[in-house]
A = this chain, B = another copy of it.
């Protein structure tokens, strides 16, 4: 496999595995490609023929109705044939290996795999296997692998920030919450850095920040009020339910007190700061309803842009 498994020999996008390793011009090209797709969504007939006759497999080794739905909609709006495979309940139970499953679907002339897997690196493994079996026309999109990456989420966040703030190079951005266990946070940090954001802040309790988080180029804050001062963009993370009852946190109520985004805390950011959240929200845990439904929240536009970004990625892969 070439040094960068995501790009082909001409430097074009071949797989989307992680924002790490995506050059700035590819990220910008994805955001640019997504822009006209947001208009498609508002048409009477929300269809484009770009993936007509292509077979897209949603290969979900762990259940995520929400993510699967966004990819299914994106693929259908591009006129692809979409096949949903919930592999957790399927032939892997029959003793078949991951790569045998992939080989079989490739033999059925799959054009694209949207892969969700609990293990970090599974989409890489599939991409590598396609490479080594010489299948240049089959593409992989990582839809979340373990704690590692969830690149379309990171990209839709970038789209949203660019839409509302235009110029990345003037921004201070805060990422708040469980950065340790978040597959979203890593993607976000890499994307922001690559796009030239001069200051990225990581805000959270010590138990939920990676020990080496500063090496990613972020400033660390354990005091949310301190960290929010003067920021342009507030990126909230979802607190996983399993963390709330674990030993890392005292209680959801305590968490909300210190790291929940309230109107009072948000007032410390710039007056025109925007608030992002990847969803689904835990209202009253990491975010207060007044903020979630308030004028600074751009959480629903994120969802809309997310469809356009996924259409952009899929159409760029199919074109390549």
Contact = CB atoms under 8 A, between A and B. Distances in A.
A83 B94 contact: no
B66 A109 contact: no
A44 interface: yes
Interface stretch (A72-80, A173-181, A207-215, A227-235): A72-80
A70 interface: yes
Contacts of A72: 83
A45 B55 contact: no
A303 B89 contact: no
A286 to B, nearest CB: 11
Contact of A108 (B65, B106, B303): B303
A108 B100 CA distance: 34
Contacts of A301: 107
Contacts of A306: 108
Interface in A41-62: 41-47, 52-55
Interface residues of A, number: 54
Contacts of A42: 109
A91 B65 contact: yes
Nearest to A300: B107
Interface of A: 41-47, 52-55, 63, 65-66, 69-70, 72-73, 76-77, 81, 83, 85-87, 89-91, 94-97, 100-101, 103-109, 241, 279-283, 300-304, 306-307
Given A47-B52, A65-B85, A66-B90, 12 more contacts: A45-B54, A47-B81, A63-B89, A65-B89, A65-B90, A97-B283, A100-B279, A100-B283, A101-B280, A104-B279, A104-B303, A107-B301
27 contacts: A41-B109, A45-B54, A47-B81, A63-B89, A65-B86, A65-B87, A65-B89, A65-B90, A65-B91, A66-B90, A69-B105, A70-B108, A73-B81, A73-B108, A73-B109, A76-B81, A91-B280, A95-B241, A96-B279, A96-B280, A100-B283, A101-B280, A104-B279, A104-B280, A106-B300, A108-B303, A108-B306
